[in-house]
Amino acid sequence: MSEKARSNNRRTVAAYERSAREYVDTVAGRPSASADALRRLAAAVAPGARVLEIGSGPGWDADALEALGIAVHRTDVTDGFCTLQAARGKRCDRLDLLSDPITARYGGAMMLCVLQHFERAELGGALRMLVDALDPGSPLLLMYPEGDGEDQEHGADGDYVVVRWTPAALDAHLAQAGCSVAWDDTIDGRGGRWRTVLARKLAAQ
């Protein structure tokens, strides 16, 4: 990882550490993913399998998925969000996808509103690590802002880079990681268009 990438990552994590409580108040218990997307993910998970969540944040998506009968391993890069989840009786383990190993195997994964914080050169490796932790045929749910540029977001709690991806570019990374896209949907959201993708790990991987 370049020094520039490390610096951007540190700023992003620090900003979320400082703003975890304010973020929770802002989203007010609403999952990031649509109910349709979460139902599709739940239907694609093998019976009894567990889903790994990267960037659980306040945990609203995990709550919704668990309400559909799916066990979720919640993880986040920040201590702030893990602490807030612990306060409401949820276990959330600290995990940095860019530096920490994933030692368990899972029957699915979701990473919602997270990959835009990875540098372009980091995304391929992060997706491969995530896909490698999945059983063959398992689903992966992603949500990210569409586009082909990078924005510098400025807030009271810090500045960080937001990297946007075109569908073709993101899907190419998924293919290289050993996944095929099964379903997608795009909506208008904060800052532009947001795409949700449900992919599956190829059985041969």
What domains are there in the chain, each with its CATH number?
A: 3-201 (3.40.50.150)
Distance, CA of 128 to CA of 202 (rounded, Å): 12
Q: With cut-offs at 50, 70 and 90, classify the pLDDT of residue 151.
A: confident
Q: With cut-offs at 50, 70 and 90, classify the pLDDT of residue 159.
A: low
Task: Name the DSSP class of 135.
Answer: P
Instruction: Cite the DSSP H helix spans in 111-190.
Output: 120-132, 167-176
HEC string of 73-132 equals EEEECCHHHHHHHHHCCCCEEECCCCCCCCCCCECEEEEECCHHHCCHHHHHHHHHHHHH
Contacts of 25 (CB under 8 A, 6+ apart): none
Does residue 133 contact residue 109 with C-beta atoms inside 8 Å? Answer: yes
Q: With cut-offs at 50, 70 and 90, classify the pLDDT of residue 156.
A: very low
CA distances from 197 to 35, 165, 180 (A): 14, 12, 10
- Joined together, the tokens standing for residue 73 give 């391993």
Distance, CA of 56 to CA of 68 (rounded, Å): 17
Q: What is the pTM of this model?
A: 0.86
The per-residue pLDDT for range 13-45, each reduced to its tens digit, is 455 554 545 555 565 668 999 999 999 999 999
Place of tokens 């919704």: 64
What pLDDT, on a 0 to 100 scale, did the predictor assign at position 37?
Answer: 98
CA distances from 135 to 11, 41, 57, 201 (A): 33, 15, 25, 8
- Joined together, the tokens standing for residue 29 give 């218990």
